[in-house]
A and B are shown apart, each in its own frame.
Chain A
Amino acid sequence: MGVDRRTFIKYASLAAAGNAAALRPFGALNALAQGTTPDYKALVCVFLFGGNDANNTLIPFDMAGYGNYATVRGPIAIAQNQLLPLVGSLSPNTFALNPSLPEIAALFGSSNVAMVANVGTLVAPTTKAQYQSGATVPTNLFSHSDQQLEWQNAAKSGATQTGWAGRIADQLGSAYNSTSQVPMITSVAGDTLFCNGSASTPVSVSPGNLGGAQCSEGITECAAQQATAQALLSFDSGLTLVQADNTITSNAYLYAKTLTAAVQSVPSLNTVFPSLNGLAAQLKQIAQIIQVRAALGVNRQIFFCGVGNFDTHSNQLVLQNALLAQMSAAMNAFYAATVEMGVQNNVTSFTMSDFSRTFQPNSNTGTDHAWGSHHIVMGGAVKGGQMYGTFPTLHLGGPDDSGTNGRWVPSTGSVQYAATLASWFGVNAAQMPLVFPNIGSFTKPNLGFV
């Protein structure tokens, strides 16, 4: 990557230098920036785009379980002596993590991480027999785009145009963030359905580029130029897309001004985030925003970040291990940052992903699209060191296999997983069906992991 990476980074730093100069007019320090908020909670979604193979993430470690795993997985099985056995509150030597997850394993051991087994998109609790006899399940089960949307909206239908975080913001925004200058939801990984509500839209932040636009004219002309540029946004041309872009750009000016003013008043966190790690850069940006929560006037925040390339149809061991290593180090640094800020009990992070992958490998030492998956929940409030849900029977064509290739029928609905997090965040019983219209179909709306 040598030259390419260097030149790209070099140019990015030029832009960053410009930002600082351009924003001097808005540079008023905010004395509240380092204050504390009495009742603060944040949810942080880490989306593993492409469908993380849960079967090589959380692995049976007992003799029989591992033996079965190794036999079926063949060329993509991980040697047992490389696995990281989980301790925590589990029976010894029952489950282990992928060797690329040492930090997650340690946080499991200190009860700050919980695993939730075989979670997937469901309309209602569904057995293998029900599935095979045509029970209603989410549409296009094995399609990336559809299942990403299903996980993010946690509604009855993938066609819903709001995400569950967005609907939480719709419900809780006025109660918790009435004086806020920025939306409840921040995405550092672009726009996703997860963040969109009926009445609320997120602020998007490019990691490391929190400030406003660079301007190279003199200070006076820059201010004048920006004033005119902003004034042009108020012209209603009647063109739908022009108007939509006017709205986004107007918000961009507003949020950049607010965020820049807030972060200028605080020292950098001491926590060191891993370098050359895209997810770490995103989580570092999230930490910086949490640091100035008081200045932003927010008591509740939801963050979205993500990392891609989990679609390991070939060469899976190499690709997935590198991605999991990146994720583990990044999440660990983020947890450390919450400890540094004293908010580790106020911030709960969790993974989501399109789907898991076939337990049976394909002919390219890879795996194909599947269904139920295992997920990671992290934070001081998490009742960690435990596994929640029901681990599937890893038999091709067995009681949990929707077919014959090891696509597990989920034993826990993604909506239950989401509702558990939402409940901790402050969504009350009356609001729950408004956020999760389908939650009533499940007998256990709270899985109890946080």
Chain B
Amino acid sequence: MTGGMDLRNLCGRFRLNGWAIGLGLLGGGLGLTGCGSSTAGAVVNTQPQVTVNGAGQVRLGSTAQLSATVTNEPTTSVTWQVNGVAGGSAALGTISASGVYTPPAALPATNPVTITAISVSAPSVSGTATEAVWNPLPTVTAAVIPQDYGATSGILTVTGTGFVAGAQLQVGGASVLTTMTSPTTLQATNPVVASGVTPVVVDVVNPDPGSATSPITNAQVQASLHSTARLLDQATFGPTLTDIQHVETVGLPAYLNEQFAVPTTLEADITTPPPTLCTNNTIPCQQAEWWQVALTGQDQLRQRVALAMSEMFVISTNMVNARAVTAYQNMLANDAFANFSTTIKDVTLSTGMGAYLNMLNSAKPGVVNGVPQIANENYARELMQLFTIGLYMLNQDGTLQLDPSGNPIPTYTEAQVQAFARAYTGWTYATATGGVPTSFPNNTPNYDAPMAAVESQHDLIAKTLLNGTTLSAGQTSGQDLAGALANLFSHQNVGPFVCKQLIQHMVTSNPSSAYVSRVAAVFADDGTAQHVRGNMQAVVQAMLLDVEARAGDSNPSFNGGHLREPLLYMAGVMRGLGYTFVGAGAGTGAEYYYTPSNSISPLGQRPYASGSVFNFFAPEYVIPGTTTNAPEFGIENTATAVLRLSLADNLVYNRVQYFNVDLSATSALGMMASATGNATTDSTNLVNALSNLFMHGQMPTQLSAPIIAHVATILNNPAERVRVATYLVITSSFYKVEH
């Protein structure tokens, strides 16, 4: 309409071209020729005129300052329109009184937009400029390639800002098929190969208008959620978000090495006198210490191995003083990564085991008050049957050796049980200072010291042990003990016998014979220059990083795993949901940590409360009506299955006495459950979060879809959504069986 307008338009085009071909230098040059200047013409114009100046383009997410120059009018103020709409609109972008144009959230339907400035004093006079709206400049804040353990590729995920539809990931400068998850997240549709050594260079290209490329970033290769959460399920008392993120960063082997180095969280001796809670019974105080360590200890792997060992080398508060049990637990935790020969010696001389299986105060055979007595066979038998070699000769892969008739071959005879029983005679409680008592039996307990031997009570007759080994006549208690334990430790059964059970407790009920064999081989020789036998740290590492342990990382339907025993179920849900101890009020202490035992007691389990040395369940247990070996199913039946449903109800209802969990509408899960107001979206996000916490992000659609559909029917009650979704997840057999 006016010359000024034409001139401004001209300038706008030049500037656009200038940007496209070489940015500011040429544009600046054009500016010097007079664009936007009202004094460019030779003829002086006296008509009122409005001239609008601006950069001519603006990126989404930023703003543009426009200016209006009013000439030949008494006042210079203007009002602004966008495409004829005063002040603009959400769809067109808005413009402020001072001429700041803010583009809409996404590219406008008409692009560029026209900005009009209208003189206030002469409303018929206006000037316009066009403003092209461009896609934003993409930036990358992080690029990660999560890999399942052992894999060499993973789905590249890039987070940053300014991603728009059509944004393209480039890996090493080449475009890859890209899925846009959100304006801040892009994923490569297909796995990207990454060695972890050569950097994977990543950038993001936004499309036209204003196509632009982010600076390059090196993608970080990290452990996948599948691998980290699964490992944590196997190696700890349950994954937490914090632990998952940590292991994702450092990777599985480094995490294990960290855990091997974490010092033992020791249970304190129960005080004398005990806390008021335990005046008449110290067991709750022992239980409290156990739960506090399991739920909060930093030495999670050590404690998890100690749990497995406590279910292999069983003692029970049913028969053993709780003070001896805390000492025993500390011993197992300290020895979790020690040499197995150390563990078995410490178990043997512990007062807890001594009292439980009666090596404590077992005297040599003899005639007392005219009555002939025999050496107590209890520990001698169970040390072989249950703790070291088992009943039958084994191959390294854990399968039975058979005689020519196809029958299993017993490992020992009743006569050998009696010989070992005599080898273990003479031991009783040490004195208060850990010394040898002057009388036998010494019935003043010292639970913190190993048992001590009273030589006069030790059997001196020669003993014929396994594999032709003989303990000479006349040896001391200590010599016979060392000889007997060395005889057992060197037996070929120990590796497969112990390793298979450790695998069953921590990884899978039915390990392949090849898996058992690989781990047992590490037991036999840890691969170091010293060729150490019985290195349990090496065994634990080999067990957890074995291809069979990790197969489920990438293949959720890999047929393995084991039922979560009530202890692990309770701890896992409590840690996953973020239960915290609140105690019983002022003046009370950590002794009230015992209450999770109340929650699971009806299911047939409490820490260190097995009904017998055969543990809560037997390693060889077979599910009725099947041929499937699955130890933990020994306490899973139609009664306990119902009780576990009730336990889950208590857990989602914050009913663990002296603990608290926030699953309310304002909790993290609660807010997720109502974030968008779209029932399906919110329920999906909630269930996905629970899948990450409890199923390693591997919940199958056949489970998630019905749960999402159900939860979405719950309206206006985010807390109930959280409770019901959590209940349905943790009561599903897919969660109960850790796999």
A213 and B358: CB pair below 8 A?
Answer: no
How far is it, in angstroms, between the C-alpha of A374 and the C-alpha of B611 when the chains are bound? 24
Interface residue stretch chosen among B114-122, B131-139, B616-624: B616-624
Q: Which of A71, A216, A239 contacts B737 (CB 8 A)?
A: A239
Check B94 for interface membership: any CB of A closer than 8 A. no
- Which chain B residues lie closer than 8 Å to A4 at the CB level? 281, 283-284
Check B273 for interface membership: any CB of A closer than 8 A. no
Check A173 for interface membership: any CB of B closer than 8 A. no
Q: Which of A15, A205, A228, A369 contacts B602 (CB 8 A)?
A: A15
Interface residue stretch chosen among B40-48, B217-225, B542-550, B629-637: B629-637
- The chain B residue with its CB closest to the CB of A187 is B637
Chain B residues bordering chain A, tally (CB within 8 A): 100
- Which chain B residues lie closer than 8 Å to A166 at the CB level? 624
Convert A175-195 into 0s and 1s, putting 1 for each residue whose CB lies closer than 8 angstroms to a CB of B. 000000000000100110001
Interface residue stretch chosen among B61-69, B514-522, B558-566: B558-566
A245 and B638: CB pair below 8 A?
Answer: no
- Which chain B residues lie closer than 8 Å to A243 at the CB level? 733
| Known contacts A161-B622, A361-B373, A368-B378: A209-B720 contact under CB 8 Å | no
- The chain A residue with its CB closest to the CB of B628 is A240
B563 and A366: CB pair below 8 A?
Answer: no
Q: Which of A8, A19, A362 contacts B362 (CB 8 A)?
A: A362
The residue in A7, A140, A161 that gathers the most chain B C-beta atoms within 10 A of its C-beta is A7
Q: Which of A140, A143, A206, A242 contacts B733 (CB 8 A)?
A: A242
- Which chain A residues lie closer than 8 Å to B361 at the CB level? 314, 363-364
A425 to chain B, nearest CB (A): 21
B284 and A190: CB pair below 8 A?
Answer: no
Check A241 for interface membership: any CB of B closer than 8 A. yes
How far is it, in angstroms, between the C-alpha of A9 and the C-alpha of B657 when the chains are bound? 14
Check A229 for interface membership: any CB of B closer than 8 A. yes
How far is it, in angstroms, between the C-alpha of A139 and the C-alpha of B391 when the chains are bound? 10
In A127-161, which residues have CB < 8 Å from any B CB?
139-146, 161
| Known contacts A212-B642, A232-B707: A363-B375 contact under CB 8 Å | yes
The residue in B373, B560, B650, B703 that gathers the most chain A C-beta atoms within 10 A of its C-beta is B373
Interface residue stretch chosen among B76-84, B227-235, B724-732: B724-732
A235 and B702: CB pair below 8 A?
Answer: yes
A209 and B602: CB pair below 8 A?
Answer: yes
Q: Which of B560, B614, B642, B706 contacts A213 (CB 8 A)?
A: B642
| Known contacts A19-B646, A49-B612, A363-B363: A255-B318 contact under CB 8 Å | no
Interface residue stretch chosen among A246-254, A266-274, A330-338: A246-254
- Which chain B residues lie closer than 8 Å to A277 at the CB level? none
Check B509 for interface membership: any CB of A closer than 8 A. yes
- Which chain A residues lie closer than 8 Å to B368 at the CB level? 74-75, 363
- The chain A residue with its CB closest to the CB of B441 is A364
In A71-87, which residues have CB < 8 Å from any B CB?
71-75
Check B267 for interface membership: any CB of A closer than 8 A. no
Convert A225-237 into 0s and 1s, putting 1 for each residue whose CB lies closer than 8 angstroms to a CB of B. 1001101110101
How far is it, in angstroms, between the C-alpha of A169 and the C-alpha of B713 when the chains are bound? 44
- The chain A residue with its CB closest to the CB of B364 is A363
Check B626 for interface membership: any CB of A closer than 8 A. yes
- Which chain B residues lie closer than 8 Å to A18 at the CB level? 646, 649
| Known contacts A235-B703, A313-B378: A241-B373 contact under CB 8 Å | no
Q: Which of B376, B563, B614, B641 contacts A364 (CB 8 A)?
A: B376
Check B668 for interface membership: any CB of A closer than 8 A. no
Check B601 for interface membership: any CB of A closer than 8 A. yes
| Known contacts A205-B639, A235-B700, A238-B559: A314-B649 contact under CB 8 Å | no
Convert B695-739 into 0s and 1s, putting 1 for each residue whose CB lies closer than 8 angstroms to a CB of A. 000001011001100100110000010011001100111101101
| Known contacts A190-B635, A240-B559, A364-B376: A232-B703 contact under CB 8 Å | yes
Q: Which of B362, B410, B633 contacts A139 (CB 8 A)?
A: B410
B134 to chain A, nearest CB (A): 49
How far is it, in angstroms, between the C-alpha of A381 and the C-alpha of B277 when the chains are bound? 50
| Known contacts A241-B509, A242-B737: A206-B602 contact under CB 8 Å | yes
- Which chain B residues lie closer than 8 Å to A2 at the CB level? 279-281
Q: Which of A72, A214, A238 contacts B649 (CB 8 A)?
A: A214
A241 and B739: CB pair below 8 A?
Answer: yes
Convert B391-410 into 0s and 1s, putting 1 for each residue whose CB lies closer than 8 angstroms to a CB of A. 10000000000000000101
- Which chain B residues lie closer than 8 Å to A114 at the CB level? none
- Which chain B residues lie closer than 8 Å to A360 at the CB level? 372-374
Check A52 for interface membership: any CB of B closer than 8 A. no
Q: Place the interface of chain A in its size category.
A: 35 or more
- The chain B residue with its CB closest to the CB of A368 is B377
- Which chain B residues lie closer than 8 Å to A203 at the CB level? 638
B646 and A15: CB pair below 8 A?
Answer: yes
How far is it, in angstroms, between the C-alpha of A104 and the C-alpha of B702 when the chains are bound? 57
B640 and A161: CB pair below 8 A?
Answer: no
| Known contacts A209-B602, A362-B375, A362-B377: A252-B624 contact under CB 8 Å | no
Check A356 for interface membership: any CB of B closer than 8 A. no
How far is it, in angstroms, between the C-alpha of A249 and the C-alpha of B657 when the chains are bound? 27
In B353-400, which residues have CB < 8 Å from any A CB?
357-358, 361-366, 368-378, 381, 385, 391
A167 to chain B, nearest CB (A): 13
A3 and B279: CB pair below 8 A?
Answer: yes
- Which chain B residues lie closer than 8 Å to A348 at the CB level? none
B381 and A142: CB pair below 8 A?
Answer: yes
- Which chain B residues lie closer than 8 Å to A212 at the CB level? 642, 645
B642 and A143: CB pair below 8 A?
Answer: no
| Known contacts A15-B646, A144-B614: A229-B731 contact under CB 8 Å | yes
- Which chain B residues lie closer than 8 Å to A141 at the CB level? 414
| Known contacts A74-B368, A221-B724, A225-B728: A244-B645 contact under CB 8 Å | no
How far is it, in angstroms, between the C-alpha of A217 and the C-alpha of B727 when the chains are bound? 11
Q: Which of A145, A361, A362 contacts B618 (CB 8 A)?
A: A145
- The chain B residue with its CB closest to the CB of A11 is B598
- Which chain A residues lie closer than 8 Å to B604 at the CB level? 190
Check A288 for interface membership: any CB of B closer than 8 A. no
A255 to chain B, nearest CB (A): 5
- Which chain B residues lie closer than 8 Å to A90 at the CB level? none
A29 to chain B, nearest CB (A): 21
Q: Which of A8, A191, A202, A252 contacts B642 (CB 8 A)?
A: A252
A248 and B636: CB pair below 8 A?
Answer: yes
- Which chain A residues lie closer than 8 Å to B410 at the CB level? 139-140
B540 to chain A, nearest CB (A): 23
B653 and A241: CB pair below 8 A?
Answer: no
In B405-425, which residues have CB < 8 Å from any A CB?
408, 410, 414, 417, 425
B602 and A245: CB pair below 8 A?
Answer: no
Check A50 for interface membership: any CB of B closer than 8 A. yes
How far is it, in angstroms, between the C-alpha of A362 and the C-alpha of B377 when the chains are bound? 8
A40 to chain B, nearest CB (A): 23
Check A204 for interface membership: any CB of B closer than 8 A. yes
Check B643 for interface membership: any CB of A closer than 8 A. yes
How far is it, in angstroms, between the C-alpha of A144 and the C-alpha of B357 when the chains are bound? 13
B626 and A244: CB pair below 8 A?
Answer: yes
How far is it, in angstroms, between the C-alpha of A124 and the C-alpha of B385 when the chains are bound? 26
A356 to chain B, nearest CB (A): 14
Would you list 10 pairs from A and B whose C-beta atoms are within 8 A, ordered by A residue? A4-B283, A166-B624, A213-B649, A228-B706, A239-B561, A241-B563, A242-B561, A245-B636, A245-B641, A364-B363
Q: B: which residues have CB within 8 A of A?
A: 277-281, 283-284, 318-319, 357-358, 361-366, 368-378, 381, 385, 391, 408, 410, 414, 417, 425, 509-510, 557, 559-563, 595, 598-599, 601-602, 604, 611-612, 614, 618, 622-628, 630, 633-643, 645-646, 649-650, 653, 655, 657, 700, 702-703, 706-707, 710, 713-714, 720, 723-724, 727-728, 731-734, 736-737, 739
Top 10 A-B residue pairs of the complex, sorted by shortest distance between their CB atoms: A74-B371, A213-B645, A204-B637, A2-B280, A245-B733, A363-B363, A204-B639, A252-B641, A214-B646, A206-B639
9 further interface pairs, Cβ-Cβ under 8 Å (given A74-B370, A238-B559, A314-B376): A71-B370, A140-B410, A166-B624, A209-B639, A209-B643, A217-B723, A239-B737, A245-B641, A403-B414
